[in-house]
Amino acid sequence: MFSEPATILHWPRIGVFLLAWSAASIAGAARAEEPAEASRKGAAAAIRILNDPAYHAAERKTLQQERLFEVLTEWFDFKEFSKRALADQWGAFTESERTQFVDVFSRFLGKYYLGELQRRYAGERVTVERQEIIGPARARVIATVSWMGRPIPVEIRKLKTGGRWMAYDVSVFGLSAVQVYRAQLLHLLRSRSPAELIALVASRIDE
């Protein structure tokens, strides 16, 4: 599963861009009142970091990735993502194991997808089309990514937590990141304990 993360979501460059595009400015996306405006500001903030000449030198790429990950964690709710990906197995984890899993899973995803974004980003454009409020604290944002001259539909699901709209899932052509990871994580848990799964994910971070 984790040895070839590029194949997990079947999104090659598009998926790499979309997940890492979640990186947003703390002042912009995290505090925006409307979920669509949060996404617009988030996309712009991530692109600014990617295009900033201060990070163009090879020795500055680690710092650039750290900056992207810092703001990503302010916009993307990794705990909610992890909880939904583990589904009913979330209850099999102790409170300590849940905290550990969210930590290593977020760092694994961040390192891979942000690293790929740094290497592959080539000026793709994101257009936020509209938002749909589907409950007092639930919304989805519909966007389009211009990819090799083709419009790629994207759906970002959000929850309002502490007054902020936080994303917890991204879908491309109806393929949900939560659903894809859920299938693979639950498969691994058939033969591994929560502690063993945490160790497996952690072992992939420094590879």
pLDDT digits over 175-201, tens only?
Answer: 888 998 999 999 999 999 999 999 999
Residue 17 has pLDDT above 60, yes or no: no
138-147, strands of its sheet edge to edge: 125-135, 138-147, 150-161, 164-172, 175-176
Asked whether residue 154 is assigned to any structural domain, the reply reads no
Asked whether residue 142 is assigned to any structural domain, the reply reads no
Asked whether residue 95 is assigned to any structural domain, the reply reads yes
- pTM equals 0.79
Instruction: Give the range among 18-32, 48-62, 131-145 with minimum mean pLDDT.
Output: 18-32
Asked whether residue 116 is assigned to any structural domain, the reply reads yes
Asked whether residue 144 is assigned to any structural domain, the reply reads no
Q: Which domain holds residue 16?
A: 5-121+180-205
Residue 29 to residue 48: CA distance in whole angstroms: 14
Asked whether residue 173 is assigned to any structural domain, the reply reads no
Instruction: Give the number of domains in the chain.
Output: 1
Which of 9, 2, 1, 19 shows the shortest CA–CA distance to 120? 19
C-alpha torsion sign, points 168, 26, 63, 96: negative
Tell me what pLDDT residue 193 has: 97
Asked whether residue 185 is assigned to any structural domain, the reply reads yes
CB 49 within 8 A of CB 64: yes
| Most confident stretch, 86-90, 113-117, 203-207 | 86-90
Asked whether residue 162 is assigned to any structural domain, the reply reads no
Q: What is the mean pLDDT of residues 100-108?
A: 94
